[in-house]
């Protein structure tokens, strides 16, 4: 997946009981701070500067960076990225959840959602998770809760994601979350000097309402 870290000039130095989406009025309360959400055996929360070292360890390995835009490679770089996320969130353009497994203090991954148009009606999301936690169910549980937050609390109508065709794990994860493939974006992602084809995935609020009734565990 392409989480879309901070712009290159920054990188260089570098919910409890939510109602179905269609019955919820969009709120901007999240601009001042994200709520703490439970996601299976993990917590989703606001990124903190103290997460920087853990994110460097988790998100800069070859396995993780293979199909994402380049992350910051230093603690200082991630600190600048985290500060940038707070500024973008305050402006109402973007939000980023830290994924913190039970028993851990710092983030081992992130889920980002950014507006593609004013008002967040259409948004794009992406994620990155330390490979140590792949295959544990941590991502799926976290993604369910983050997507539900986007539709029910942020007011997203259409949520898009892009994944390189070669990224079998990422595409399978999106399909499991109820997203539908809509198009192949030819040579749309520059990765390690090569332009890759991507699949455009999308999920609408009305589709999510039906999907969540069977897929989303109660949030406490």
Q: What is the pLDDT at residue 219?
A: 44
Cα 99–chain centre separation: 10
Q: Which domains does the chain have, with CATH numbers?
A: 8-13+33-160 (3.40.630.30)
Q: What is the predicted pLDDT for the residue at 211?
A: 86
Q: Which helix (H) or strand (E) holds 162?
A: strand 158-164
**3-class secondary-structure state, position 209:** helix
Q: Angle CA(135)–CA(138)–CA(143) in degrees, nearest 5?
A: 115
Give me the helix-helix angle, 138-149 and 205-215, nearest 10°.
140
* Residue pair 126/3 in contact by the 8 Å Cβ criterion: yes
Report strand pairing: 180-191 vs 158-164. Answer: unpaired
112, 121 contact by CB (below 8 A): no
Say what the pTM is.
0.85
Q: Average pLDDT per run of 10 along the chain, which is 220 residues long? A: 46 32 53 95 97 98 92 96 97 97 97 95 96 95 96 96 95 95 95 92 93 62
Give the DSSP letter of residue 153. Answer: I
Residues 37, 48 contacting (CB under 8 angstroms)? no
Interatomic CA distance for residues 173 and 168, integer angstroms: 9
pLDDT of residue 215: 66
Nearest-10 crossing angle of helices 168-176, 138-149? 50
Q: Cα–Cα distances in Å, from 49 out to 42, 133, 142, 150, 208?
A: 19, 22, 21, 23, 33
Which structure tokens are listed for 166? 């070669």
Using DSSP bridges, classify how beta strands 94-101 and 194-204 pair: parallel, antiparallel or unpaired.
Answer: unpaired
CA dihedral (96, 100, 106, 107) positive or negative: negative
Spatial CB neighbours of 104, under 8 Å, sequence gap ≥ 6: none
Q: Tell me, what's the pLDDT at 191?
A: 84
Residue 11 has a pLDDT of: 35
């Amino acid at each position: 997946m392409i989480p879309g870290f901070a712009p290159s000039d920054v990188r260089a130095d570098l919910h409890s009981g939510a109602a179905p989406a269609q019955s919820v009025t969009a709120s901007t309360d999240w601009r001042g701070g994200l709520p703490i959400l439970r996601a299976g055996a993990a917590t989703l929360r606001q990124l903190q500067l103290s997460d920087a070292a853990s994110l460097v360890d988790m998100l800069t390995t070859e396995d993780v960076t293979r199909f994402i835009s380049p992350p910051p490679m230093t603690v200082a770089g991630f600190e600048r990225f985290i500060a940038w996320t707070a500024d973008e969130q305050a402006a109402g353009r973007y939000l980023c959840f830290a994924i913190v497994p039970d028993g851990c203090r710092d983030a081992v991954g992130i889920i980002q959602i950014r507006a593609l148009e004013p008002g967040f009606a259409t948004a794009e999301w992406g994620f990155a998770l330390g490979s140590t936690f792949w295959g544990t169910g941590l991502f799926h549980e976290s993604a369910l809760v983050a997507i539900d937050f986007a539709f029910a609390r942020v007011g997203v109508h259409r949520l898009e994601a892009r994944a390189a065709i070669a990224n079998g794990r990422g595409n399978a994860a999106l399909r499991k979350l109820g997203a539908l493939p809509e198009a192949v974006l030819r040579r749309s992602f520059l990765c390690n000097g090569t332009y890759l084809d991507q699949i455009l995935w999308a999920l609408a609020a009305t589709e999510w309402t039906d999907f969540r009734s069977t897929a989303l565990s109660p949030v406490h």
